Structure 1
């Protein structure tokens, strides 16, 4: 199973649009997971055009987005338990918040956003994966999104690029 993972698209904003690299990968994917901060329901609907979509809302999402998607998701895919949450909140680090969010589910993988910082690391037996931002890199040198391959194990990687074209 091939999955594209995105977060923090923050669209529409300025002249930004979905980058071609991301669009091409979403067309080929079995599933797209968005970890929040879409911003408007129009962007949510745009992502739906690429096939199966799962997502959660983030701290800047409109009321319409919050009505369209849950705050958190637990997915069971290919024998793996995957938690999805944006990661915003108070106190603690984003990593601690997302890990504690799915402690009872004993998630194999937790997908989150919020920081715009790409991350791929284990905390105990759980893989934490932040795809970064495909459209709002802030002070980072590259935009990014993630790709997951689920077979008998989880393979996760970041796709980095310097232009939104």
Structure 2
């Protein structure tokens, strides 16, 4: 199973369309997870053209997006437990806030967004992963998103980096 992970799209302010590099991966995706800060429902509708979409809302999302998506989600993909939260809040770093949200549950993977900073580290036996942003790299050298591939009870998780969103 191939899941494309993205977040912090902030569209249409930061991009009028999905970047070609992202579209190339979406075309072969079995599913799509958005870590929040969609900004508009048009992003959801565009992503649905490629594969089933789920996600959470972020701190910059509208009430209509908040109604569609919860603040936290849990998934099982091929036996892999995946938890999802945007990661905004006060105190601690974004990765530590994400970890604290699900620490008691001990999922295999925690996906989060908010900071726009790609992140892939293991903490207390849990893999923490932030895909970065495919449209708003802020002070990062490149745009990014993630790919989760599962097979049986194993998984691989990686970033895709690129320099242009057009």
The residue aligned with 2:164 is 163
- The alpha-carbon deviation at position 15 of structure 1 amounts to 4.9
Stretches of 4+ aligned residues off by more than 3 angstroms: none
Q: Is the 8 A contact 2:2 2:29 kept in 1?
A: yes
How far the C-alpha of 1:119 sits from its partner, in A, is 0.5
The answer to whether structure 1 residue 154 and structure 2 residue 159 are counterparts is no
Partner of residue 49, structure 1 = 49
Give 5+ residue unaligned stretches, structure 2.
Answer: none
State the Cα deviation string for residues 80-105 of structure 1 (Å, max 9, x = none).
Answer: 11001100011121111110111222
Q: Which residue number corresponds to residue 37 of structure 1? A: 37
Q: Distance in 2 between matches of 1:15 and 1:79?
A: 35
Indicate whether 1:131 and 2:131 are aligned: yes
SS at match of 2:27: helix
Distance 1:157 1:94, change over 3 A: same
Distance 2:14 2:3 in 1: 28
The number of residues matched between the two structures is 165
* TM-score, normalised by the number of residues in structure 2: 0.95
Matched with 2:116 is 116
Q: CA deviation at 1:68?
A: 1.2
Query: How far did 1:14 drift?
Result: 5.1
Is the alpha carbon distance of 1:122 and 1:83 closer, same or farther for their aligned partners in structure 2, counting shifts above 3 Å?
same
